[in-house]
Chains A and B, each alone.
Chain A
């Protein structure tokens, strides 16, 4: 029972790291980015290639995965995304679906269709018992890393100068710009950082989520759920939403394997009927 809870929390934390970049970019620029999963995939494949082919230690490959995904994110933001901020949502959806298809087929071409895993070090294998709760070492690592990240993000967002600028820009872009805040710069940086986090999540997630070229399509719905249920105004919203999603998904698949896939959808539908704007949104501005 507690083990399932533990696994669910690990899964949820992972989803949070994967999706929080998406929620910030959505809140900041009102940009619907369905290609977010492609950055996660980039991070995942970076780790797999580095560890398996070049013998880079697993723990070193994680920050590298972050870096690679962040750089790709920065380049894509400046080259492609910047053109669609002011366009209607339909255009953004079309563009990002196009990017997803290109990423899927391109990865397929370069890496092959089969599912890949990174060789994780011995330390992370297996479980240990802690007051009768079976704790997977790998999942513990995920919880620790993601927990630290979540606290760090919350700190940056609420306590630093950059964070207050970011929040100001999310609240009202035009006024923020009028006050001399470089909104475009902040956005580029945030986009790159969010992509990097997705990359890190993808790298950590290869063990749990699996990694193959269809990754961005398979998990698109999960990211969307986290963002719609969690709202875009803070990172606590997506955090709680991710945990809810992770725990219910793991528990659902464990207790009612036949109906496992429906559990999360049922919850989503209930949430949407109850609070159409998401669990944690302020009176929706956008």
Chain B
């Protein structure tokens, strides 16, 4: 017989991990887009890797509470790694190469985590920004390897799993990115709902108290930093593989800053934030950059300022009715609540 406390804890953990009907609709929609929106596959591909990139930042910002201004470092390393592997035909199969690119980024994340995790928020911002700048400078200096400012050209991608070729309309590219995103999302979901994920939230809320109840704060942060780097590296690898190109732009500060915006639009600290943010961001960019191509950063800036000043809750508040509806749809949750109320009595 387990004690009621353990039973309740298990129940609470399980209920977090349960699939919500809206989630199923979301992914069904994403996969249906393979057949329903064949003309939009190029932008959908961009949304897919951006979503993965934002998801990796959410690990840091939303779960561990680490502010990073240089997340593009890992994205860029992943992109260059994937492009170089393909160019020099070291690993021809894209899926394997992608995994390798992720591992390279992860190694970098592991090494730099010791620097980033020292000191205060400000130090973290400075170091993460610095790491991205150093990598950009390295990519610029080692032109013989990376192509310098011209970017890495002449990359030919082999077919995925030896059968699906990257076509110029991005049909297979989108399906590939979506599958990768989905698989990694499942893993992320496991991580976030595990005791490990919960301990991260505890660290974010109060590091001192988390340490006091026996959570090894530093070790947890190093692990999540490496995992986030892995995800970002995969996202970068996807970009390089679908475009057959990598340039210095992958390390740019704008990329890191835009990514924060993506995450903020979608909502921080729940896994779908990055995904929804990526969709909204790309659609908005598509629309606004046609209107004012050169001054597009101005509107990004204005949006960031507005979100902080007006309050994120109020801007994303329009989702509240949907959330209520979602709660009603989730009959299992309703029944559980009723059962819990019964218990209390």
The distance in angstroms between the C-alpha atoms of A272 and B111, with both chains bound, is 14
| Bitwise interface map of B from 105 to 119 toward A, beta carbon under 8 Å scored 1, else 0 | 000000000010011
Q: List the B side residues contacting A84 at CB < 8 Å.
A: 308
A93 part of interface (Cβ distance < 8 Å): yes
Kindly supply a per-residue 1/0 record for chain A positions 97-126, scoring 1 wherever the CB is within 8 Å of any chain B CB and 0 otherwise: 111111111101100000000000000000
Q: Is B340 an interface residue (CB 8 A)?
A: no
Contact of A276 among B118, B133, B305 (CB under 8 A): B118
B119: min CB distance to chain A, Å: 4
Among candidates A99, A109, A262, A272, residue contacting B137 with C-beta atoms closer than 8 Å: A262
User: Of B122, B134, B260, which contacts A94 at CB under 8 A?
Assistant: B260
- Identify which of A4-12, A132-140, A155-163, A219-227 touches chain B: A219-227
Q: Is B295 an interface residue (CB 8 A)?
A: yes
A259 CA to B138 CA, complexed, in Å: 9
The answer to whether A95 and B305 have CB atoms under 8 Å apart is: yes
B163 beta carbon closer than 8 Å to chain A = no
Residue of A26, A224, A269 near B129 (CB, 8 A) is: A224
Query: Would you call B123 an interface residue if the criterion is a C-beta within 8 Å of the partner chain's C-beta atoms?
Result: yes
What's the minimum C-beta distance from B54 to chain A, rounded to whole angstroms?
14
Give CA–CA (A262, B115) in the complex, Å.
Answer: 16
Q: Are A228 and B67 in contact (CB under 8 A)?
A: no
**CB atoms of B297 and A104 under 8 A apart:** yes
Number of B positions contacting A (CB below 8 A): 40
Residues of chain B contacted by A109 (CB below 8 angstroms): 295, 298
CA distance A40 to B158 in the complex (A): 50
B101 at the interface (CB under 8 A from A): no
Asked if residues B305 and A272 are in contact (CB atoms below 8 Å), the reply is no
Q: Known contacts being A94-B260, A217-B253, is A102 close to B308, with CB within 8 Å?
A: no
Q: Does B304 contact A (CB under 8 A)?
A: yes
Q: Which residue of A lies closest to B253 (CB)?
A: A217
Q: Which residue from A32, A87, A97, A259 sits with its C-beta under 8 Å from B121?
A: A32
> 1/0 per position for B121-136, CB-CB distance to A under 8 A?
1110111011001100
Q: Mark B302-314, 1 if CB is under 8 A from A, else 0.
A: 1111111100000
A90 in contact with B67 given A98-B301, A101-B297, A228-B126 (CB within 8 Å):
yes
Chain A: residues with Cβ within 8 Å of the partner, total of 46
A268 an interface residue at 8 Å Cβ cutoff? Answer: yes
CA distance A178 to B7 in the complex (A): 50
Contact partners of A227 in chain B: CB under 8 A? 122, 126
Residues of A within 8 A of B122 (CB): 26, 32, 89, 224, 227-228
Q: What are the interface flags for A66-92 relative to B under an 8 Å C-beta threshold, 1 for contact and 0 otherwise?
A: 000000000000001001100101110
Which of B118, B125, B268, B296 interacts with A93 by CB under 8 Å? B125
Tell me the nearest residue of chain B to A105, going by C-beta. B298
Residues of B within 8 A of A262 (CB): 134, 137
Which residue of the partner chain, among A94, A100, A220, A221, contacts B307 with CB atoms under 8 Å? A94
Contact between B118 and A97, CB atoms less than 8 A apart: no
- A94 x B308 contact (CB < 8 A): yes
Bound form: Cα–Cα A261–B67 in Å: 25
A-contacting residues, B122-161, CB 8 Å: 122-123, 125-127, 129-130, 133-134, 137, 141
Q: Which A260-286 residues have a C-beta within 8 angstroms of B? A: 261-262, 265, 268-269, 272-273, 276-278, 284, 286
The 8 Å CB contact of A105, one of B126, B260, B297, B304, is B297
Q: Could you write out 18 A-B pairs with CB less than 8 Å apart?
A: A80-B309, A83-B308, A87-B308, A90-B67, A93-B69, A94-B304, A97-B260, A98-B303, A101-B304, A102-B298, A105-B295, A106-B298, A108-B295, A109-B295, A224-B125, A228-B119, A277-B120, A278-B123
Known contacts A220-B129, A265-B133, A265-B134; 12 further A-B pairs (Cβ under 8 A):
A93-B260, A98-B301, A99-B305, A102-B298, A102-B302, A105-B297, A221-B126, A224-B129, A259-B141, A262-B134, A268-B126, A273-B118
Residues of A within 8 A of B (CB): 26, 32, 34, 80, 83-84, 87, 89-91, 93-95, 97-106, 108-109, 217, 220-221, 224-225, 227-228, 258-259, 261-262, 265, 268-269, 272-273, 276-278, 284, 286
